[in-house]
Structure 1
Protein backbone atom coordinates (compact mmCIF):
# COMPACT_ATOMS: atom_id res chain seq x y z
CA UNK A 1 0.00 0.00 0.00
CA UNK A 2 1.07 3.58 -0.63
CA UNK A 3 2.98 5.07 2.32
CA UNK A 4 2.06 8.67 3.06
CA UNK A 5 5.12 10.89 3.51
CA UNK A 6 3.29 13.65 5.36
CA UNK A 7 0.72 12.54 7.88
CA UNK A 8 -2.52 14.48 8.11
CA UNK A 9 -4.46 15.19 11.26
CA UNK A 10 -8.24 15.34 11.46
CA UNK A 11 -10.60 17.59 13.32
CA UNK A 12 -14.28 18.48 13.23
CA UNK A 13 -15.44 22.08 12.91
CA UNK A 14 -19.00 23.37 13.49
CA UNK A 15 -20.34 24.77 10.21
CA UNK A 16 -24.00 25.75 9.78
CA UNK A 17 -25.45 23.03 12.01
CA UNK A 18 -23.06 20.43 10.59
CA UNK A 19 -19.88 18.91 11.99
CA UNK A 20 -17.37 19.42 9.19
CA UNK A 21 -14.45 17.02 8.91
CA UNK A 22 -11.20 18.76 7.96
CA UNK A 23 -7.74 17.32 7.28
CA UNK A 24 -4.64 19.39 7.88
CA UNK A 25 -1.00 18.98 7.00
CA UNK A 26 1.75 21.17 8.44
CA UNK A 27 1.42 24.02 10.89
CA UNK A 28 0.22 27.64 10.63
CA UNK A 29 2.90 30.27 10.04
CA UNK A 30 2.42 34.03 10.43
CA UNK A 31 4.14 34.93 7.15
CA UNK A 32 2.32 32.57 4.74
CA UNK A 33 -1.35 32.22 3.86
CA UNK A 34 -3.08 28.89 4.38
CA UNK A 35 -3.34 26.60 1.36
CA UNK A 36 -6.92 25.32 1.03
CA UNK A 37 -7.66 22.24 -1.11
CA UNK A 38 -11.21 21.42 -2.25
CA UNK A 39 -12.03 17.94 -3.53
CA UNK A 40 -14.37 16.95 -6.35
CA UNK A 41 -17.72 15.18 -6.60
CA UNK A 42 -17.84 11.79 -4.86
CA UNK A 43 -14.32 12.36 -3.58
CA UNK A 44 -12.83 13.09 -0.16
CA UNK A 45 -10.19 15.36 1.37
CA UNK A 46 -7.72 12.47 1.74
CA UNK A 47 -7.59 12.35 -2.07
CA UNK A 48 -5.05 15.22 -1.92
CA UNK A 49 -2.45 13.11 -0.07
CA UNK A 50 -0.40 12.32 -3.19
CA UNK A 51 -0.14 15.99 -4.16
CA UNK A 52 0.74 17.06 -0.62
CA UNK A 53 3.47 14.40 -0.50
CA UNK A 54 4.86 15.65 -3.84
CA UNK A 55 5.17 19.27 -2.73
CA UNK A 56 8.70 20.51 -2.23
CA UNK A 57 7.69 23.13 0.31
CA UNK A 58 6.01 22.27 3.60
CA UNK A 59 3.16 24.62 4.37
CA UNK A 60 -0.09 24.65 6.28
CA UNK A 61 -2.64 22.79 4.16
CA UNK A 62 -6.36 22.62 4.94
CA UNK A 63 -8.68 20.18 3.12
CA UNK A 64 -12.33 19.73 4.15
CA UNK A 65 -14.71 16.91 3.31
CA UNK A 66 -17.65 18.75 1.74
CA UNK A 67 -21.10 18.20 3.27
CA UNK A 68 -22.32 14.70 2.52
CA UNK A 69 -18.85 13.44 1.55
CA UNK A 70 -16.20 11.66 3.57
CA UNK A 71 -16.70 12.08 7.30
CA UNK A 72 -18.88 15.20 7.04
CA UNK A 73 -22.57 14.50 7.57
CA UNK A 74 -25.03 15.80 5.01
CA UNK A 75 -27.70 16.89 7.47
CA UNK A 76 -30.28 14.30 6.35
CA UNK A 77 -31.21 16.18 3.17
CA UNK A 78 -32.35 14.51 -0.04
CA UNK A 79 -30.57 16.82 -2.49
CA UNK A 80 -27.65 19.26 -2.48
CA UNK A 81 -27.20 22.82 -3.78
CA UNK A 82 -24.07 24.60 -4.99
CA UNK A 83 -24.67 27.76 -2.90
CA UNK A 84 -24.35 25.66 0.27
CA UNK A 85 -20.76 24.77 -0.63
CA UNK A 86 -19.96 28.47 -1.01
CA UNK A 87 -21.42 29.32 2.39
CA UNK A 88 -19.69 26.33 4.00
CA UNK A 89 -16.35 27.45 2.60
CA UNK A 90 -16.92 30.95 3.94
CA UNK A 91 -17.56 29.54 7.43
CA UNK A 92 -14.42 27.41 7.22
CA UNK A 93 -12.27 30.36 6.16
CA UNK A 94 -13.69 32.38 9.05
CA UNK A 95 -12.50 29.62 11.36
CA UNK A 96 -9.06 28.95 9.88
CA UNK A 97 -7.98 32.17 8.20
CA UNK A 98 -9.91 34.99 9.84
CA UNK A 99 -9.14 38.17 7.90
CA UNK A 100 -6.19 36.63 6.02
CA UNK A 101 -6.48 35.79 2.34
CA UNK A 102 -5.76 32.20 1.30
CA UNK A 103 -4.29 30.27 -1.60
CA UNK A 104 -7.09 28.11 -3.01
CA UNK A 105 -7.00 24.93 -5.11
CA UNK A 106 -10.10 23.08 -6.28
CA UNK A 107 -10.57 19.95 -8.36
CA UNK A 108 -13.64 19.31 -10.55
CA UNK A 109 -16.66 20.23 -8.39
CA UNK A 110 -14.21 21.80 -5.95
CA UNK A 111 -12.79 23.81 -8.85
CA UNK A 112 -16.26 25.10 -9.68
CA UNK A 113 -16.82 26.00 -6.02
CA UNK A 114 -13.44 27.77 -5.99
CA UNK A 115 -14.22 29.85 -9.07
CA UNK A 116 -17.67 30.87 -7.88
CA UNK A 117 -16.53 31.62 -4.35
CA UNK A 118 -13.62 33.71 -5.63
CA UNK A 119 -16.14 35.89 -7.46
CA UNK A 120 -18.34 36.23 -4.39
CA UNK A 121 -15.51 36.91 -1.91
CA UNK A 122 -12.62 38.15 -4.08
CA UNK A 123 -10.84 39.76 -1.13
CA UNK A 124 -10.39 36.38 0.58
CA UNK A 125 -8.39 34.74 -2.24
CA UNK A 126 -4.73 35.56 -2.92
CA UNK A 127 -4.25 33.09 -5.79
CA UNK A 128 -6.44 30.33 -7.25
CA UNK A 129 -5.70 27.07 -9.08
CA UNK A 130 -8.67 25.41 -10.78
CA UNK A 131 -8.07 21.76 -11.73
CA UNK A 132 -10.64 20.70 -14.33
CA UNK A 133 -13.49 22.72 -12.80
CA UNK A 134 -15.19 23.43 -16.12
CA UNK A 135 -18.72 24.30 -15.07
CA UNK A 136 -21.70 22.87 -16.96
CA UNK A 137 -23.11 23.03 -20.49
CA UNK A 138 -25.36 25.95 -21.27
CA UNK A 139 -29.08 25.27 -20.85
CA UNK A 140 -32.10 27.16 -22.17
CA UNK A 141 -35.00 28.48 -20.06
CA UNK A 142 -37.33 26.28 -22.12
CA UNK A 143 -35.67 23.25 -20.50
CA UNK A 144 -36.73 24.30 -17.00
CA UNK A 145 -40.13 22.49 -16.84
CA UNK A 146 -38.62 19.16 -17.85
CA UNK A 147 -35.68 19.64 -15.49
CA UNK A 148 -37.89 20.38 -12.47
CA UNK A 149 -39.88 17.26 -13.26
CA UNK A 150 -36.73 15.15 -13.51
CA UNK A 151 -35.51 16.57 -10.19
CA UNK A 152 -38.74 15.53 -8.47
CA UNK A 153 -38.67 12.08 -10.07
CA UNK A 154 -35.07 11.48 -8.97
CA UNK A 155 -35.87 12.46 -5.38
CA UNK A 156 -38.68 9.89 -5.40
CA UNK A 157 -36.28 7.26 -6.73
CA UNK A 158 -33.80 8.14 -3.98
CA UNK A 159 -36.42 7.61 -1.27
CA UNK A 160 -37.32 4.24 -2.81
CA UNK A 161 -33.68 3.20 -2.51
CA UNK A 162 -33.15 3.08 -6.26
CA UNK A 163 -30.15 5.43 -6.25
CA UNK A 164 -28.11 3.80 -3.51
CA UNK A 165 -24.39 3.50 -4.11
CA UNK A 166 -22.74 0.12 -4.67
CA UNK A 167 -21.58 -1.87 -1.65
CA UNK A 168 -18.56 -4.17 -1.65
CA UNK A 169 -17.82 -7.29 0.43
CA UNK A 170 -14.22 -6.18 1.00
CA UNK A 171 -12.17 -3.01 0.69
CA UNK A 172 -10.25 -4.43 -2.27
CA UNK A 173 -13.53 -4.27 -4.22
CA UNK A 174 -13.50 -0.51 -3.68
CA UNK A 175 -9.91 -0.37 -4.92
CA UNK A 176 -10.84 -2.29 -8.07
CA UNK A 177 -13.73 0.12 -8.62
CA UNK A 178 -11.33 3.08 -8.40
CA UNK A 179 -8.92 1.48 -10.86
CA UNK A 180 -11.74 0.66 -13.29
CA UNK A 181 -12.83 4.31 -13.27
CA UNK A 182 -9.25 5.52 -13.62
CA UNK A 183 -7.00 3.00 -15.43
CA UNK A 184 -3.91 5.11 -14.66
CA UNK A 185 -4.35 4.63 -10.90
CA UNK A 186 -1.73 2.24 -9.53
CA UNK A 187 -2.65 -0.63 -7.21
CA UNK A 188 -0.83 0.84 -4.21
CA UNK A 189 -2.59 4.19 -4.51
CA UNK A 190 -5.94 2.53 -5.14
CA UNK A 191 -5.57 0.45 -1.98
CA UNK A 192 -4.66 3.54 0.05
CA UNK A 193 -7.52 5.61 -1.36
CA UNK A 194 -10.07 2.84 -0.88
CA UNK A 195 -9.38 2.75 2.85
CA UNK A 196 -10.12 6.50 3.07
CA UNK A 197 -12.90 6.63 0.48
CA UNK A 198 -15.12 3.96 2.05
CA UNK A 199 -16.11 2.45 5.38
CA UNK A 200 -17.26 -1.00 6.55
CA UNK A 201 -20.82 -1.08 7.90
CA UNK A 202 -23.02 -3.99 9.07
CA UNK A 203 -25.20 -5.56 6.39
CA UNK A 204 -28.56 -7.33 6.66
CA UNK A 205 -26.91 -10.72 6.03
CA UNK A 206 -24.88 -10.35 9.22
CA UNK A 207 -21.59 -9.46 7.57
CA UNK A 208 -20.02 -6.12 6.68
CA UNK A 209 -20.17 -4.26 3.41
CA UNK A 210 -17.80 -1.49 2.35
CA UNK A 211 -19.75 1.64 1.43
CA UNK A 212 -18.49 4.71 -0.40
CA UNK A 213 -18.33 7.77 1.87
CA UNK A 214 -20.70 9.79 -0.25
CA UNK A 215 -24.39 10.50 0.18
CA UNK A 216 -26.36 9.07 -2.79
CA UNK A 217 -28.45 12.27 -2.69
CA UNK A 218 -25.51 13.91 -4.48
CA UNK A 219 -26.66 12.04 -7.59
CA UNK A 220 -29.85 14.13 -7.76
CA UNK A 221 -29.66 16.73 -10.54
CA UNK A 222 -29.86 20.39 -9.67
CA UNK A 223 -33.42 21.62 -10.15
CA UNK A 224 -32.28 24.96 -11.56
CA UNK A 225 -30.89 25.24 -15.06
CA UNK A 226 -27.23 26.24 -15.26
CA UNK A 227 -27.00 29.94 -16.09
CA UNK A 228 -23.91 30.88 -18.06
CA UNK A 229 -24.59 34.61 -17.66
CA UNK A 230 -24.52 34.24 -13.87
CA UNK A 231 -21.30 32.21 -14.05
CA UNK A 232 -19.63 34.82 -16.24
CA UNK A 233 -20.58 37.58 -13.81
CA UNK A 234 -18.88 35.63 -11.02
CA UNK A 235 -15.80 35.03 -13.18
CA UNK A 236 -15.56 38.75 -13.95
CA UNK A 237 -15.55 39.56 -10.23
CA UNK A 238 -12.47 37.44 -9.47
CA UNK A 239 -9.50 39.63 -8.56
CA UNK A 240 -6.98 36.87 -7.77
CA UNK A 241 -4.66 35.53 -10.46
CA UNK A 242 -6.08 32.21 -11.70
CA UNK A 243 -4.35 29.15 -13.12
CA UNK A 244 -6.84 26.89 -14.94
CA UNK A 245 -5.30 23.44 -15.35
CA UNK A 246 -6.51 20.82 -17.82
CA UNK A 247 -5.60 17.17 -18.30
CA UNK A 248 -4.46 15.94 -21.71
CA UNK A 249 -7.36 13.47 -22.03
CA UNK A 250 -10.02 16.19 -22.58
CA UNK A 251 -12.64 14.85 -20.21
CA UNK A 252 -15.14 17.47 -21.41
CA UNK A 253 -15.45 15.80 -24.80
CA UNK A 254 -15.81 12.40 -23.13
CA UNK A 255 -18.58 13.58 -20.79
CA UNK A 256 -20.70 15.89 -22.91
CA UNK A 257 -20.37 14.42 -26.40
CA UNK A 258 -20.32 17.77 -28.17
CA UNK A 259 -22.73 19.61 -25.84
CA UNK A 260 -19.84 21.44 -24.18
CA UNK A 261 -16.24 21.77 -25.36
CA UNK A 262 -12.86 23.06 -24.22
CA UNK A 263 -13.18 25.90 -26.72
CA UNK A 264 -16.41 27.02 -25.06
CA UNK A 265 -14.80 26.75 -21.63
CA UNK A 266 -11.82 28.81 -22.80
CA UNK A 267 -14.22 31.44 -24.11
CA UNK A 268 -15.82 31.66 -20.66
CA UNK A 269 -12.41 32.01 -19.03
CA UNK A 270 -11.84 35.23 -20.96
CA UNK A 271 -14.15 36.90 -18.42
CA UNK A 272 -11.60 36.24 -15.66
CA UNK A 273 -9.44 39.39 -15.40
CA UNK A 274 -6.14 37.55 -14.77
CA UNK A 275 -6.06 33.95 -15.99
CA UNK A 276 -3.64 31.56 -17.61
CA UNK A 277 -4.13 27.96 -18.74
CA UNK A 278 -1.93 25.02 -17.74
CA UNK A 279 -1.90 21.46 -19.03
CA UNK A 280 -0.87 18.13 -17.52
CA UNK A 281 0.21 15.45 -20.00
CA UNK A 282 -0.58 11.75 -19.68
CA UNK A 283 -3.46 12.46 -17.29
CA UNK A 284 -7.22 12.20 -17.13
CA UNK A 285 -9.78 14.00 -15.04
CA UNK A 286 -8.21 12.68 -11.81
CA UNK A 287 -4.96 14.40 -12.73
CA UNK A 288 -3.99 14.85 -9.06
CA UNK A 289 -3.84 11.05 -8.83
CA UNK A 290 -2.35 10.45 -12.28
CA UNK A 291 0.46 13.03 -12.11
CA UNK A 292 0.68 14.32 -8.51
CA UNK A 293 4.28 15.53 -8.88
CA UNK A 294 3.42 17.61 -11.96
CA UNK A 295 0.28 19.01 -10.33
CA UNK A 296 2.21 19.87 -7.16
CA UNK A 297 4.87 21.61 -9.25
CA UNK A 298 2.30 23.70 -11.13
CA UNK A 299 0.63 24.71 -7.87
CA UNK A 300 3.87 25.66 -6.13
CA UNK A 301 5.29 27.56 -9.10
CA UNK A 302 2.09 29.55 -9.52
CA UNK A 303 1.75 30.44 -5.86
CA UNK A 304 5.42 31.45 -5.65
CA UNK A 305 5.29 33.69 -8.74
Structure 2
Protein backbone atom coordinates (compact mmCIF):
# COMPACT_ATOMS: atom_id res chain seq x y z
CA UNK A 1 0.00 0.00 0.00
CA UNK A 2 1.56 3.33 -1.03
CA UNK A 3 1.76 6.25 1.39
CA UNK A 4 -0.34 8.35 -1.01
CA UNK A 5 -3.35 6.13 -0.22
CA UNK A 6 -3.03 6.68 3.54
CA UNK A 7 -4.97 9.45 5.28
CA UNK A 8 -2.79 12.46 6.14
CA UNK A 9 -3.75 14.01 9.50
CA UNK A 10 -4.31 17.73 9.60
CA UNK A 11 -3.44 17.97 13.30
CA UNK A 12 -0.82 15.48 14.45
CA UNK A 13 -1.28 13.84 17.82
CA UNK A 14 1.60 12.93 20.08
CA UNK A 15 1.95 9.76 22.07
CA UNK A 16 2.74 9.75 25.78
CA UNK A 17 2.65 7.30 28.66
CA UNK A 18 1.25 8.24 32.06
CA UNK A 19 1.50 6.15 35.26
CA UNK A 20 -2.03 5.36 36.41
CA UNK A 21 -2.95 2.77 39.07
CA UNK A 22 0.15 0.67 38.44
CA UNK A 23 -0.27 0.76 34.66
CA UNK A 24 1.69 2.55 31.96
CA UNK A 25 -1.31 4.29 30.43
CA UNK A 26 -0.99 5.29 26.78
CA UNK A 27 -2.54 8.60 25.75
CA UNK A 28 -2.80 10.39 22.41
CA UNK A 29 -2.73 14.15 22.89
CA UNK A 30 -3.43 16.92 20.40
CA UNK A 31 -2.11 20.29 21.54
CA UNK A 32 -1.11 20.79 25.17
CA UNK A 33 -2.45 22.16 28.42
CA UNK A 34 -1.36 25.73 27.56
CA UNK A 35 -4.45 25.84 25.30
CA UNK A 36 -6.84 25.25 28.20
CA UNK A 37 -9.07 28.14 29.30
CA UNK A 38 -12.23 28.23 31.44
CA UNK A 39 -14.23 28.70 28.23
CA UNK A 40 -12.34 25.95 26.39
CA UNK A 41 -11.32 23.20 28.83
CA UNK A 42 -9.53 20.04 27.81
CA UNK A 43 -11.66 17.68 25.73
CA UNK A 44 -11.13 14.10 26.91
CA UNK A 45 -12.33 11.35 24.55
CA UNK A 46 -12.94 7.72 25.52
CA UNK A 47 -13.01 5.11 22.77
CA UNK A 48 -15.24 2.07 22.42
CA UNK A 49 -14.81 -1.71 22.57
CA UNK A 50 -11.83 -3.02 20.58
CA UNK A 51 -10.85 0.49 19.52
CA UNK A 52 -7.99 2.87 20.42
CA UNK A 53 -7.67 6.52 21.36
CA UNK A 54 -6.06 7.46 18.04
CA UNK A 55 -9.35 6.47 16.39
CA UNK A 56 -10.60 10.01 17.08
CA UNK A 57 -8.05 11.54 14.66
CA UNK A 58 -10.62 12.26 11.94
CA UNK A 59 -12.91 14.01 14.43
CA UNK A 60 -10.01 16.04 15.86
CA UNK A 61 -9.09 17.14 12.33
CA UNK A 62 -12.70 18.08 11.54
CA UNK A 63 -12.83 20.21 14.71
CA UNK A 64 -9.56 21.89 13.72
CA UNK A 65 -11.01 22.80 10.33
CA UNK A 66 -13.89 24.55 12.10
CA UNK A 67 -12.09 26.33 14.92
CA UNK A 68 -8.33 26.03 14.30
CA UNK A 69 -5.87 24.11 16.45
CA UNK A 70 -7.07 25.82 19.60
CA UNK A 71 -8.27 22.92 21.74
CA UNK A 72 -6.33 20.51 23.96
CA UNK A 73 -7.68 17.01 23.20
CA UNK A 74 -6.74 13.91 25.16
CA UNK A 75 -7.64 10.33 24.19
CA UNK A 76 -6.42 7.43 26.37
CA UNK A 77 -6.23 3.80 25.33
CA UNK A 78 -8.37 2.09 27.97
CA UNK A 79 -6.66 -0.72 29.87
CA UNK A 80 -6.25 -3.77 27.66
CA UNK A 81 -6.53 -1.74 24.45
CA UNK A 82 -3.95 -0.09 22.23
CA UNK A 83 -0.66 0.38 24.07
CA UNK A 84 -2.09 0.25 27.62
CA UNK A 85 -1.21 -3.30 28.58
CA UNK A 86 -1.92 -4.81 32.00
CA UNK A 87 0.29 -7.77 32.84
CA UNK A 88 -1.50 -11.08 33.00
CA UNK A 89 -5.12 -9.83 33.00
CA UNK A 90 -7.60 -12.63 32.38
CA UNK A 91 -10.74 -10.47 32.64
CA UNK A 92 -11.74 -6.83 32.89
CA UNK A 93 -14.08 -4.95 35.25
CA UNK A 94 -16.12 -1.91 34.24
CA UNK A 95 -15.39 0.05 37.42
CA UNK A 96 -11.67 -0.06 36.63
CA UNK A 97 -12.21 2.20 33.63
CA UNK A 98 -13.73 4.85 35.91
CA UNK A 99 -10.84 4.44 38.33
CA UNK A 100 -8.38 4.79 35.48
CA UNK A 101 -10.07 7.94 34.17
CA UNK A 102 -10.09 9.47 37.65
CA UNK A 103 -6.41 8.65 38.09
CA UNK A 104 -5.52 9.94 34.65
CA UNK A 105 -7.18 13.31 35.23
CA UNK A 106 -5.31 13.67 38.53
CA UNK A 107 -1.95 12.60 37.13
CA UNK A 108 0.78 15.30 37.35
CA UNK A 109 2.34 13.89 34.20
CA UNK A 110 -0.76 14.74 32.18
CA UNK A 111 -0.64 18.32 33.45
CA UNK A 112 -4.29 19.08 34.19
CA UNK A 113 -4.89 21.28 37.21
CA UNK A 114 -6.56 19.67 40.21
CA UNK A 115 -10.35 19.80 39.99
CA UNK A 116 -10.14 21.66 36.68
CA UNK A 117 -13.41 21.08 34.75
CA UNK A 118 -13.16 19.16 31.50
CA UNK A 119 -15.38 18.40 28.54
CA UNK A 120 -15.83 14.63 28.34
CA UNK A 121 -16.80 12.50 25.33
CA UNK A 122 -17.26 8.76 25.03
CA UNK A 123 -18.13 6.44 22.17
CA UNK A 124 -20.02 3.15 22.67
CA UNK A 125 -18.35 1.45 25.65
CA UNK A 126 -16.63 4.77 26.30
CA UNK A 127 -20.04 6.46 26.29
CA UNK A 128 -21.15 4.20 29.12
CA UNK A 129 -17.94 4.93 31.03
CA UNK A 130 -18.28 8.72 30.77
CA UNK A 131 -21.96 8.69 31.75
CA UNK A 132 -21.20 6.81 34.96
CA UNK A 133 -18.16 8.97 35.66
CA UNK A 134 -20.10 12.20 35.16
CA UNK A 135 -22.71 11.02 37.65
CA UNK A 136 -20.18 10.53 40.45
CA UNK A 137 -17.71 13.29 39.54
CA UNK A 138 -20.32 15.77 38.34
CA UNK A 139 -18.41 18.89 39.44
CA UNK A 140 -15.49 17.85 37.23
CA UNK A 141 -17.53 17.83 33.99
CA UNK A 142 -18.51 21.01 32.13
CA UNK A 143 -20.05 19.35 29.04
CA UNK A 144 -20.71 15.64 28.38
CA UNK A 145 -21.02 13.92 24.98
CA UNK A 146 -22.32 10.36 24.59
CA UNK A 147 -21.88 8.79 21.14
CA UNK A 148 -24.07 5.66 21.06
CA UNK A 149 -23.27 4.52 24.59
CA UNK A 150 -26.55 2.64 24.93
CA UNK A 151 -25.75 0.52 27.94
CA UNK A 152 -26.84 -3.11 28.01
CA UNK A 153 -30.08 -5.11 28.24
CA UNK A 154 -31.66 -5.40 31.66
CA UNK A 155 -30.88 -8.51 33.69
CA UNK A 156 -32.60 -10.46 36.45
CA UNK A 157 -31.04 -11.82 39.66
CA UNK A 158 -31.96 -15.33 38.51
CA UNK A 159 -29.37 -14.96 35.73
CA UNK A 160 -26.57 -14.47 38.26
CA UNK A 161 -25.54 -18.09 38.90
CA UNK A 162 -25.48 -18.89 35.19
CA UNK A 163 -23.37 -15.82 34.45
CA UNK A 164 -20.86 -16.76 37.14
CA UNK A 165 -20.66 -20.30 35.82
CA UNK A 166 -20.13 -18.99 32.29
CA UNK A 167 -17.35 -16.68 33.50
CA UNK A 168 -15.60 -19.49 35.39
CA UNK A 169 -15.84 -21.78 32.38
CA UNK A 170 -14.46 -19.17 30.02
CA UNK A 171 -11.52 -18.44 32.33
CA UNK A 172 -10.44 -21.96 31.50
CA UNK A 173 -10.79 -21.34 27.76
CA UNK A 174 -7.94 -19.55 25.93
CA UNK A 175 -9.12 -16.48 24.05
CA UNK A 176 -7.49 -15.49 20.78
CA UNK A 177 -7.90 -12.84 18.11
CA UNK A 178 -7.24 -13.45 14.45
CA UNK A 179 -3.94 -12.10 13.12
CA UNK A 180 -3.24 -10.71 9.65
CA UNK A 181 -0.51 -11.07 7.04
CA UNK A 182 -0.23 -7.35 6.28
CA UNK A 183 -1.48 -3.87 7.09
CA UNK A 184 -3.57 -4.10 3.95
CA UNK A 185 -5.42 -7.08 5.46
CA UNK A 186 -5.98 -5.15 8.70
CA UNK A 187 -7.42 -2.24 6.70
CA UNK A 188 -9.66 -4.62 4.77
CA UNK A 189 -10.87 -6.07 8.07
CA UNK A 190 -11.78 -2.57 9.28
CA UNK A 191 -13.72 -1.85 6.10
CA UNK A 192 -15.50 -5.21 6.27
CA UNK A 193 -16.79 -4.28 9.74
CA UNK A 194 -17.65 -0.76 8.59
CA UNK A 195 -18.15 -0.47 4.81
CA UNK A 196 -18.65 3.30 5.19
CA UNK A 197 -15.00 3.75 6.23
CA UNK A 198 -13.01 5.30 3.34
CA UNK A 199 -9.96 3.35 2.20
CA UNK A 200 -7.45 6.05 3.15
CA UNK A 201 -8.83 6.28 6.69
CA UNK A 202 -8.83 2.49 7.04
CA UNK A 203 -5.17 2.43 5.95
CA UNK A 204 -4.28 5.05 8.56
CA UNK A 205 -6.27 3.35 11.32
CA UNK A 206 -4.68 -0.02 10.59
CA UNK A 207 -1.31 1.37 11.68
CA UNK A 208 -2.73 2.41 15.07
CA UNK A 209 -5.09 -0.52 15.55
CA UNK A 210 -2.44 -3.24 15.14
CA UNK A 211 1.27 -3.98 15.45
CA UNK A 212 3.62 -6.44 13.82
CA UNK A 213 4.67 -9.44 15.88
CA UNK A 214 7.99 -11.27 15.90
CA UNK A 215 6.54 -13.71 13.36
CA UNK A 216 5.88 -10.87 10.90
CA UNK A 217 2.11 -11.06 11.22
CA UNK A 218 -0.05 -8.16 12.42
CA UNK A 219 -1.82 -8.43 15.77
CA UNK A 220 -4.86 -6.37 16.79
CA UNK A 221 -4.06 -4.11 19.77
CA UNK A 222 -6.80 -5.47 21.99
CA UNK A 223 -6.44 -8.07 24.72
CA UNK A 224 -8.37 -11.23 23.72
CA UNK A 225 -9.50 -11.45 27.36
CA UNK A 226 -12.03 -8.72 26.53
CA UNK A 227 -14.03 -11.42 24.73
CA UNK A 228 -14.91 -12.98 28.07
CA UNK A 229 -18.22 -11.78 29.56
CA UNK A 230 -18.31 -9.93 32.84
CA UNK A 231 -18.94 -12.03 35.92
CA UNK A 232 -21.35 -9.33 37.11
CA UNK A 233 -24.83 -8.66 35.78
CA UNK A 234 -25.68 -5.25 34.35
CA UNK A 235 -27.77 -3.47 36.99
CA UNK A 236 -29.99 -0.98 35.15
CA UNK A 237 -31.47 0.72 38.22
CA UNK A 238 -28.02 1.24 39.69
CA UNK A 239 -26.82 2.78 36.41
CA UNK A 240 -29.85 5.06 36.18
CA UNK A 241 -29.31 6.34 39.72
CA UNK A 242 -25.89 7.46 38.52
CA UNK A 243 -27.30 9.05 35.36
CA UNK A 244 -29.81 11.02 37.44
CA UNK A 245 -26.90 12.70 39.20
CA UNK A 246 -25.33 14.07 36.01
CA UNK A 247 -25.45 17.86 36.30
CA UNK A 248 -23.60 18.75 33.08
CA UNK A 249 -25.51 19.34 29.84
CA UNK A 250 -25.40 16.15 27.74
CA UNK A 251 -25.15 15.82 23.97
CA UNK A 252 -26.45 12.47 22.69
CA UNK A 253 -25.58 11.55 19.09
CA UNK A 254 -26.46 8.38 17.18
CA UNK A 255 -26.46 7.17 13.58
CA UNK A 256 -29.60 6.60 11.55
CA UNK A 257 -28.32 3.19 10.39
CA UNK A 258 -27.54 1.83 13.86
CA UNK A 259 -29.70 -1.19 14.58
CA UNK A 260 -29.90 -2.36 18.19
CA UNK A 261 -31.59 -5.58 17.06
CA UNK A 262 -28.33 -6.79 15.51
CA UNK A 263 -26.69 -6.72 18.94
CA UNK A 264 -29.46 -7.72 21.34
CA UNK A 265 -32.45 -8.96 19.36
CA UNK A 266 -35.67 -8.13 21.19
CA UNK A 267 -34.00 -8.01 24.63
CA UNK A 268 -33.36 -4.27 24.46
CA UNK A 269 -35.70 -2.22 22.24
CA UNK A 270 -34.85 1.36 21.36
CA UNK A 271 -37.89 2.57 23.30
CA UNK A 272 -36.32 1.19 26.48
CA UNK A 273 -33.14 3.15 25.89
CA UNK A 274 -35.12 6.33 25.22
CA UNK A 275 -36.85 5.86 28.57
CA UNK A 276 -33.50 5.43 30.31
CA UNK A 277 -32.04 8.57 28.74
CA UNK A 278 -35.06 10.57 29.88
CA UNK A 279 -33.78 10.43 33.48
CA UNK A 280 -30.87 12.74 32.54
CA UNK A 281 -31.67 16.38 33.33
CA UNK A 282 -30.37 18.18 30.24
CA UNK A 283 -30.08 16.22 27.00
CA UNK A 284 -29.71 17.51 23.46
CA UNK A 285 -30.28 14.72 20.90
CA UNK A 286 -29.09 14.45 17.31
CA UNK A 287 -29.05 11.73 14.67
CA UNK A 288 -26.47 11.77 11.86
CA UNK A 289 -27.27 10.47 8.36
CA UNK A 290 -26.10 8.39 6.59
CA UNK A 291 -24.26 6.99 9.57
CA UNK A 292 -23.70 3.81 11.51
CA UNK A 293 -22.25 3.05 14.93
CA UNK A 294 -18.79 4.50 14.19
CA UNK A 295 -19.98 8.10 14.01
CA UNK A 296 -16.48 9.60 14.32
CA UNK A 297 -15.43 7.59 11.26
CA UNK A 298 -18.58 7.87 9.16
CA UNK A 299 -19.45 11.54 9.70
CA UNK A 300 -16.53 13.35 11.39
CA UNK A 301 -17.38 16.75 9.86
CA UNK A 302 -21.06 16.64 10.82
CA UNK A 303 -20.17 15.40 14.29
CA UNK A 304 -17.54 18.13 14.68
CA UNK A 305 -20.14 20.76 13.78
CA UNK A 306 -22.38 19.48 16.60
CA UNK A 307 -19.48 19.47 19.06
CA UNK A 308 -18.37 22.94 18.01
CA UNK A 309 -21.80 24.38 18.80
CA UNK A 310 -22.36 22.35 21.95
CA UNK A 311 -18.96 23.15 23.47
CA UNK A 312 -19.05 26.85 22.59
Place the TM-score, normalised by the shorter chain, in its bin: over 0.9
In 2, are the aligned partners of 1:167 and 1:212 still within 8 Å (CA)?
A: yes
Query: What is the DSSP-based 3-state SS (H/G/I as helix, E as strand, rest coil) of the residue aligned with 2:173?
Result: helix
Query: Distance between the aligned counterparts of 1:202 and 1:48, measured in 2?
Result: 28
Q: 2:156 aligns with which of 123, 133, 140?
A: 140
Structure 1, residues 253-288: CA drift from partner, whole Å, max 9, x if none?
221111112211110011111112111111111111
Query: Distance between the aligned counterparts of 1:63 and 1:258, measured in 2?
Result: 34
What's the counterpart of residue 256 of structure 1? 264
Query: Distance between the aligned counterparts of 1:24 and 1:299, measured in 2?
Result: 18
Aligned length: 296
Deviation of 1:30 after TM superposition, in Å, equals: 4.5
Q: Unaligned stretches of 5+ in structure 2?
A: 1-5
Q: 1:170 aligns with which of 174, 179, 182?
A: 182
Tell me how large the CA RMSD over aligned residues is: 1.0
Q: 1:291 aligns with which of 271, 296, 299?
A: 299
Query: Distance between the aligned counterparts of 2:50 and 2:36, measured in 1?
Result: 34
Q: TM-score, normalised by structure 2?
A: 0.93
Q: TM-score, normalised by structure 1?
A: 0.95
Change (3 A) 1:25 1:146: same
Structure 1, residues 4-34: CA drift from partner, whole Å, max 9, x if none?
0000011100000000001110132342310
Query: Distance between the aligned counterparts of 2:87 and 2:259, measured in 1?
Result: 32
Query: What is the DSSP-based 3-state SS (H/G/I as helix, E as strand, rest coil) of the residue aligned with 2:32?
Result: coil
Moved over 6 A (4+): none
What is the correspondence of 1:68-79 to structure 2 with a 5 Å cutoff? 68-79=80-91
1:238 paired with 2:254, answer: no
Query: What is the DSSP-based 3-state SS (H/G/I as helix, E as strand, rest coil) of the residue aligned with 2:287?
Result: strand
What's the counterpart of residue 198 of structure 1? 210
In 2, are the aligned partners of 1:244 and 1:276 still within 8 Å (CA)?
A: yes
Query: Distance between the aligned counterparts of 2:80 and 2:96, measured in 1?
Result: 11
What's the counterpart of residue 171 of structure 2? 155
Query: Distance between the aligned counterparts of 1:76 and 1:126, measured in 2?
Result: 36
Change (3 A) 1:220 1:297: same
In 2, are the aligned partners of 1:74 and 1:215 still within 8 Å (CA)?
A: no
Query: Distance between the aligned counterparts of 2:87 and 2:270, measured in 1?
Result: 36
